[in-house]
Chain A
Amino acid sequence: MVQNLVNSICPFCGVGCGIGLVATDNNIISVHPLNKHPISQGKLCAKGWNTAFGISRHGRLTHPLMKIDGKFREVSWQQALSHIAKSLKKFISESGPQSVGVISSARATNEDNYAAQKFARAVLKTNNIDHCARICHSPSVAGLKKTLGSGAMTNSIDDVGKADVIFVIGADPTENHAIIGGQIMQAKLSGATLIVVDPRQTRLAKVADLHLQLNIGTNIALLNGLLNIIFNHNWQNEDFINQRCEGFSELKAHVAEYTLDKVAKITGVKGEDLVKAAKLYSQANASFLAYGMGITQFVSGTNNVIAVSNLALICGQIGREGTGINPLRGQNNVQGACDMGCLPNVYPDYQSAMDQKVREKFTQAWGTEVANFPGLTSLGMSHQAKDGHFKGLLIFGEDPVVTDPDRNKVAESFKVMDLLVVIELSMTETAKMADIVLPAASFAEKQGTFTNCERRVQLINKAVNPPGEAKIDWQILKELAKEMGVPELMDWKDSEEVFHEMTQLTHSFSGISYAGLQQNNGLQWPCNEEHPNGSRCLHAKTFPIGKGKLIPVDHAPTDEVPDSEYPFWFTTQRLHFHYGCGSMTRKSPLLERETPDGLLFMHPQDALDLGLKNHQGVAVSSRRGCVETRVEISDQVSPGLLSMPYHFKEAPSNLLTNNAMDPGTEMPELKVCAVKLVPLPENQPPRSSELSDVGIGEQYA
């Protein structure tokens, strides 16, 4: 058997490491690291090393399936697509295009995502298009749009090595963005100062110079507190503020009430540590700030992002090498799915869907009328379904039943939809609930592009053929457009043609071609006439909105706080070894073996108080649901705080999480809620919450 080697990009997190796929006999058997890749430089994390398992033939969907009398049966593509097209047309004619929608995938390529939003807007005539950025970085997109005018990572990943101070807040990069996490540890070894702000004692917190272990949900109080310290010591960057910012005096006056004592009390962080952090961050030549879900997944998500932005702007730690505001993106192509306009309010390159001129431009270019009413977010579609106003949904490569907050509600809304189509690699919890499941090609089975968190558009290449009859997302949409009677709208011959069409309609991508990507090992947008070689660092001279906006924001309590009935704080986290809903990483026997016996992390003191042994079963409940699992005693969490990873369908943390939302973005408060806990008898194993093979049973009928 011959080994073929094909270079591609890792399909897991947003770091975008290079991987060499080793294929024999049309199977990926392993991956190799790529020494010449500009980001990973010969390194990979455990997930990346185990990529081959995630897309192996075993357990893959190979034929379209239709649920008939409660069982899935294999059908032809023609049968499946014709049924979908007929149903969608019926819903649109009876209830209008508001009644249908598409959820695209942050795991899929830019080409797939461009096709998905075009299908929604040009074929279905709806702006009901969304994807999982809703529950990861929608507050970054919204918050940084307000303060800077652009929601992406401002700097490049290798700026970590050029920083004097690295400030990580609400992010656990060694587990979730391991190669960046490694670069941070390396920078610290080489002399950079590392400050970690996190309610958990993460791996980075262990090696940090300063760990501010704040009470969960007190980010704004802490950040405002740092600002007040900076103003009191005159540590702000006056030149930068005068030339590049507006709203200084209002902000300064606003944060004056965040006195050291008050902030120390709210956050639980010692005043002297706050002063140290404020001094280090503001006085360094270059401070690199990175953040993650510990900033965004709160009802105050957008305000948290604004507070982060205020700190960087006041200290002038932006627009230069080694600085910046750097949201670490979760999925391999969540940046790209946003860039491609898989959001209800924007077309590709963040062109506003509410802008008449933009709509005219796309009407002209696509040769058809486009959607002309505001779209719904994914959670909005769910809500409308429950009210009977939303009928048909296509979901590409997402598993909201596992990954979205308040699983029972999510599942209920899928149950009442007239048509749920899931396009997937394997039978996920969400796919089990579908009326039709279509087999999709994995990243190793197609060509296309992913955009990583530093805005680098990178080529992926086909190494093997898709299994059975599986197809690429954009091809499925092309076929469906044909079935809907508009074949001319999406008649592409290959992914390069899709990409080319996109570059003709956007400014940031207008200078990018497949040839250019191949030649340069990827290109960072904006890449156009002004920036022919792409852009390593944004906002060097000016912000897209001119001056940076300093916007006062206030600390507000989380939606739920512990009380006598639900006495514990509860938060969510990820594990180095698993990814998202686990549908890929859990196919690796090695990674599966790394899953801890207990999925509920608890401080030793709490375990002692409750008389719990390590790995003893417990029932955890919130106001929304109950889940049984085992405890894992760990000093990673502080007393009173419980933490749970969300990758496991047997013990889905999202049965517990709160769907109270950040008002502007509908970001649910996944990072915190209140729970109670009842120990199970010592030898009683926890009950699994995995769905039955055909989804939710009678209890939701």
Chain B
Amino acid sequence: MLNHSYLLKDLDILKQHLAKFYSMVQIEKDANGEERWTDQSDPDTVGLFGHKHLPSTSPKGFLFAEKEALYKFDGETFESITPQVVPKVLFGVQACDLTAIAYQDKFFKQDPYYQKRRENILLVGIDCESPCTNGFCAEVKAGPHVNDNTADLVVSRLTVNGSNQLAEWLVIAETEKGQNSIKGLPLDKAHKAHFILRNRLLDKMRSEFADYSYINNAIEYLNDNAVPQHLWEEMSVRCLSCSGCTNLCPTCSCYSTYEIAEKQPDNVISETKAVKTETLRVWDSCLFEGFQREASGHNPAQQAAQRVERFWFHKFSDEYLTEFQRYGCVGCGRCEQTCPGTIGVHSVMKRINQECCS
């Protein structure tokens, strides 16, 4: 790692350099104060970095599109629709979201639509410097520093309280793509001391997290099947099946396909009559009652309690460790904010912990 690590005075130098080769995607704040991942951002715009600015919507949609056409049928032949992509750099992705992208990379390994986008994206990660609202990445090993092999480049601020001890920024090229992306930039090599400082800052930050031990306790109860049925039922009354948690969850990957026929209504006389269909996919949600309903009408998860339980099982079950080498939850806490029924991750894990402890 040391071989591919550099020092940087001003992050803007790196950004301007990358902007020559990639379309810039970074976090911007709009007129209403809303922070979000902004496509085709002007590289001269000062982006927002780090823990203070985790947008409510993760960058998931840049890889796994919220709605996209898969193929079309003109009455005779099928034709795949390949996503139109340009090389993009996602500049300043937080550790939790990078961990989620690495998770999705596994899930969508065989998915040409995802992969086409993925190949054209350069991920520049950033180490967070303090805990964010609702975030508990440290508890689920997703942050606060960028995990190894989840970004092409990682930037980490080495200044403490504004004082410049060794250098402003440490830049680590984690992949060949990352290494290539900074070719031609005159950068000094980093030393062991810089990594020691980075680790020291990490240790200090870990101690700043609130006590989230209820989360790991609840994970144990979940895996022991110790959560009583009545608790799932109580909590599921509060699930409105809005789909907010699954839409915002950076690791949720379920989708549905549907077909639209491009045909004028029969009561309109018009020149064009040919029937063409297009098949699209959209993000789906396992909290919808219809998600698992079978053609016969039978539904293995008809009760809201079964669906709510399944959702949390998918986020925290040991059963998925073999496939993904980690839990499905990356500790971003977005579901806590978006859930109208107050059954986001903190609320649920606290209740499980309380119920099972008592």
Q: A interface vs B, CB < 8 Å?
A: 1-5, 7, 18, 20, 22, 29-30, 32-37, 41-46, 48-49, 52, 58, 65, 71-74, 174, 178-179, 181-183, 185-186, 189, 203, 206-207, 427, 432, 518, 521, 576-577, 589-590, 593-594, 597, 615, 693-694
Query: Are the C-beta atoms of A74 and B268 separated by less than 8 Å?
Result: yes
Please indicate the chain A residues that have their CB under 8 angstroms from the CB of B43 in the complex.
Answer: none
The smallest C-beta distance from B266 to any residue of chain A, in angstroms, reads: 5
Q: Which residue of A lies closest to B33 (CB)?
A: A36
Interface size class of B (residues with CB under 8 A): 35 or more
Q: Does B196 contact A (CB under 8 A)?
A: no
Cα(A75)–Cα(B78), bound, Å: 34
Min CB gap B103→A, angstroms: 21
Least Cβ distance of A213 to chain B in Å? 17
Determine whether B186 belongs to the interface, using a CB cutoff of 8 Å to chain A.
no
User: Nearest chain-A residue to B283 (Cβ)?
Assistant: A30
Residue of A nearest to B248 (CB): A33
The total of Cβ contacts below 8 Å across the A-B interface reads 146
With A2-B39, A182-B341, A186-B342 already in contact, the answer to whether A594 and B240 are too (CB < 8 A) is no
**Once the chains bind, are A182 and B269 in contact (CB under 8 Å)?**
no
Known contacts A43-B244, A43-B340, A615-B297; decide if A73 and B268 are in contact (CB<8 Å): yes
Q: Which residues of A contact B268 (CB under 8 A)?
A: 65, 71-74
Q: Report yes or no: A2 in contact with B40, Cβ–Cβ below 8 A.
A: yes
Q: Please tell me if the beta carbons of B241 and A597 are within 8 angstroms of each other in the complex.
A: no
A44 to B241, alpha carbons, bound, how many Å? Answer: 11
Q: Which of A46, A65, A174, A203 has the most CB of B within 10 A?
A: A46
State A49–B282 Cα separation when bound (angstroms).
Answer: 12
| CB-based nearest A residue for B280 | A589
Looking at the complex, which of B158-166, B212-220, B284-292 is the stretch in contact with chain A?
A: B284-292
Known: A4-B39, A29-B66. 13 other contacts (CB 8 A): A30-B283, A44-B244, A44-B338, A46-B241, A49-B244, A73-B269, A181-B240, A181-B340, A189-B342, A576-B240, A577-B241, A594-B288, A693-B266
CA distance A650 to B33 in the complex (A): 44
Which residues does chain B contribute within 8 Å of A179, judged by CB atoms? Answer: 340
B116-170 residues with Cβ-Cβ distance < 8 A to A are: none
Digit string of B91-107 for contact with A (CB within 8 Å is 1, else 0)? 00000000000000000
For the complex formed, measure the closest distance between the CB of B134 and the CB atoms of chain A, giving whole angstroms. 11
Given A22-B66, A49-B247, are A207 and B238 also a contact pair (CB < 8 Å)? yes
The 9 closest A-B pairs by CB, nearest first: A182-B340, A693-B267, A593-B290, A30-B66, A589-B258, A3-B39, A36-B33, A42-B337, A29-B67
CB distance from B246 to the nearest CB of A (A): 10
Check if B256 is an interface residue, CB within 8 A of chain A: yes
Q: How far is the CA of A207 from the CA of B66 in the complex (A)?
A: 34
Known: A41-B337, A186-B342, A615-B297. A58 touches B260 (CB 8 A): yes
Q: Which residue of A lies closest to B31 (CB)?
A: A518
Contacts of A58 in B (CB 8 A): 260, 262
Chain B window 258-283, contacts with chain A (Cβ cutoff 8 Å), 1 for yes, 0 for no: 10101001111110000000000011
Q: Are B341 and A185 in contact (CB under 8 A)?
A: yes
Residues of chain A with a CB closer than 8 A to B270's CB: 74
Chain B, 202-260, CB within 8 A of any chain A CB: 237-238, 240-244, 247-248, 256, 258, 260
Q: Are B237 and A593 in contact (CB under 8 A)?
A: no
Q: Which residues of B have CB within 8 Å of A518?
A: 31
B356 to chain A, nearest CB (A): 19
**Chain B contacts for A203, CB-based, 8 A:** 237, 240
B56 touches which of A2, A30, A35, A694 (Cβ 8 Å)? A35
**23 A–B pairs (Cβ distance < 8 Å), ordered by A:** A4-B39, A5-B36, A30-B66, A32-B57, A33-B56, A34-B32, A35-B56, A41-B337, A42-B338, A46-B243, A49-B243, A49-B244, A52-B67, A58-B262, A178-B242, A182-B342, A183-B340, A185-B340, A577-B241, A590-B282, A590-B285, A597-B297, A693-B267
Q: Which residue of B lies closest to A68 (CB)?
A: B269
A46 near B242: Cβ-Cβ < 8 Å: yes
Q: How far is the CB of A397 from chain B (nearest CB, A)?
A: 18
B61 at the A interface (CB under 8 A): yes
A174 to B, closest residue via Cβ? B240
Closest residue of chain A to B237 (Cβ to Cβ) is A206
Measured CB to CB, the closest approach of chain A to B48, in angstroms, equals: 13
Give the shortest distance, in Å, between B154 (CB) and chain A (any CB).
25
Q: Do A20 and B34 touch across chains, with their CB atoms under 8 A apart?
A: yes
Q: Which residues of A contact B39 (CB under 8 A)?
A: 2-4
> How far in angstroms is the closest Cβ of chain A from B193?
39
In the complex, how many angstroms separate the beta carbon of A674 from the nearest chain B beta carbon? 31
Q: How far is the CB of B91 from chain A (nearest CB, A)?
A: 15
Give, as a whole number of angstroms, the nearest-CB distance from A513 to chain B. Answer: 16
Q: What residue in chain B is nearest A179 (Cβ atoms)?
A: B340
Judging by beta carbons under 8 Å apart, are B240 and A45 in contact?
Answer: yes
B44 surroundings in chain A (CB, below 8 A) = none
What is B's interface to A at a CB cutoff of 8 Å?
30-36, 38-40, 56-57, 61, 65-67, 84, 237-238, 240-244, 247-248, 256, 258, 260, 262, 265-270, 282-285, 288-291, 293, 297, 337-342
Q: A693–B31 Cα gap in the complex (Å)?
A: 45
Question: For residue A35, which residues in chain B have a CB less than 8 angstroms away from its CB?
Answer: 34-35, 56, 337
In the complex with contacts A33-B244, A72-B268, A178-B237 CB distance below 8 A:
no
Set A37, A181, A206, A427: member contacting B265, Cβ < 8 A: A427
Whether A427 and B267, one on each chain, are in contact in the complex, defined by CB atoms closer than 8 angstroms, is: yes
Cβ contacts under 8 Å, A206 to chain B: 237
Contacts of A182 in B (CB 8 A): 240, 339-342
Task: Enumerate chain B residues within 8 angstroms of A427, measured Cβ to Cβ.
Answer: 265, 267
Instruction: Report B231 CB to chain A, min CB distance, Å.
Output: 14
> How many angstroms from the CA of A469 to the CA of B61 in the assembled complex?
31
Known: A33-B338, A43-B338. A589 touches B265 (CB 8 A): no
> Are A693 and B269 in contact, CB atoms less than 8 angstroms apart?
no
Which A residues touch B341, using CB under 8 A? 174, 182, 185
How far is it, in angstroms, between the C-alpha of A49 and the C-alpha of B284 when the chains are bound?
Answer: 11
User: For A615, what are the chain B residues with a Cβ–Cβ distance below 8 Å?
Assistant: 297
Please name all residues of chain B whose beta carbon is closer than 8 Å to the beta carbon of A34 when the two chains form the complex: 32, 34, 56
CA of A30 to CA of B265, assembled, Å: 25
Q: Are B32 and A36 within 8 A (Cβ)?
A: yes
Q: How far is the CA of A72 from the CA of B269 in the complex (A)?
A: 6
A5 touches B38 (CB 8 A): yes
Q: In the assembled complex, which residues on chain B have CB atoms less than 8 Å from the CB atom of A32? A: 36, 56-57
Contacts of A189 in B (CB 8 A): 342
User: Given A590-B256, A590-B285, A36 and B67 touching (CB < 8 A)?
Assistant: no
Residues of B within 8 A of A590 (CB): 243, 256, 282, 284-285, 288, 290
Docked Cα-Cα span, A432 to B65, in Å, equals: 36
A585–B65 Cα distance when bound, in Å, is 21
CA distance A46 to B283 in the complex (A): 13
Q: How far is the CB of A630 from chain B (nearest CB, A)?
A: 11
Residue on B with the closest CB to A27? B67
| Beta-carbon contact of A576 and B258 below 8 Å | no
Task: Report Cα–Cα, A36/B36, bound state, in Å.
Answer: 12
List A contacts of B269 (CB < 8 A). 71-74
> For A30, what are the chain B residues with a Cβ–Cβ distance below 8 Å?
61, 66-67, 283
Taken together as a complex, chains A and B put the C-alpha atoms of A182 and B241 apart, in Å, by 12
Contact partner, A185, options B32, B238, B256, B282, Cβ 8 Å: B238
CB distance from B235 to the nearest CB of A (A): 11
Which residues of chain B are near A174, meaning CB under 8 Å? 240, 341
Q: Given that A35-B56, A185-B341 are contacting pairs, would A694 and B267 also be in contact in the complex, using a CB cutoff of 8 Å?
A: yes
A43 to B84, CA, bound (A): 31
Name the distance in Å between B41's Cβ and chain A's nearest Cβ: 10
Nearest-CB distance from B343 to chain A (Å)?
9
Q: Report the minimal beta-carbon distance from A389 to chain B, rounded to whole angstroms.
A: 30
Q: How far is the CA of A342 from the CA of B349 in the complex (A)?
A: 50
Are B262 and A71 in contact (CB-based, < 8 A)? no
A5 touches B267 (CB 8 A): no
Known: A49-B244, A576-B241. A72 touches B32 (CB 8 A): no
Residues of A within 8 A of B238 (CB): 185, 207
A432 to B56, CA, bound (A): 42
**Contact between chains at A36 and B34 (CB < 8 Å):** yes
